Amino acid sequence: MPQSITKSVKSLVEAAESQIENLSVEQALSLHGREDVVLVDIRDIRELQRDGRVPGAFHCPRGMLEFWIDPESPYHKPVFAQDKKYVFFCAGGLRSALAAQTVQSMGLKPVAHIRGGFGAWKKAGGPVEEMPAKA
């Protein structure tokens, strides 16, 4: 019997965006480089290698996000224990909406995500750097 998916990705993202702060790319660009903000890139490492990255953004693969945020996890990363605003982005703004909703429900705050993601960032002329070649 085929699966019967009852909730679409679109509806999940819409629900997430109704519960989190949504930043335009222009708002996100104005936050870049601020000491009180951490831009968190949740794209897969292959996306960063192929498309480049935002200078100064912290890379956290989506699959490790909850584990890196939880201070009780053996995988916890101290970057997530700071008193800063966390702005999540992915390639197009869908995964980051879900990620921001999840981490907000875990207690991380304040959080936001960039609508349109890295694609919008690049299109708006935001700074992008290539990933260093593997040694």
Which pTM does this prediction carry? Answer: 0.94
Q: Give the position of tokens 């998916």.
A: 5
> In this structure, is residue 1 part of a structural domain?
no
Q: Give the position of tokens 């601020």.
A: 34
> In this structure, is residue 8 part of a structural domain?
no
> In this structure, is residue 2 part of a structural domain?
no
Helix (H) or strand (E) holding 89: strand 85-89
Q: How many domains in the chain? A: 1
Domain span at residue 55?
13-123
Please report, for the domain that includes residue 105, its CATH number: 3.40.250.10
Q: Give the position of tokens 């708002």.
A: 27
Q: Could you report the per-residue pLDDT of 60-118, keeping only the tens digit for each?
A: 999 999 999 999 999 999 999 999 999 999 999 999 999 999 999 999 999 999 999 99
> In this structure, is residue 101 part of a structural domain?
yes
> In this structure, is residue 132 part of a structural domain?
no
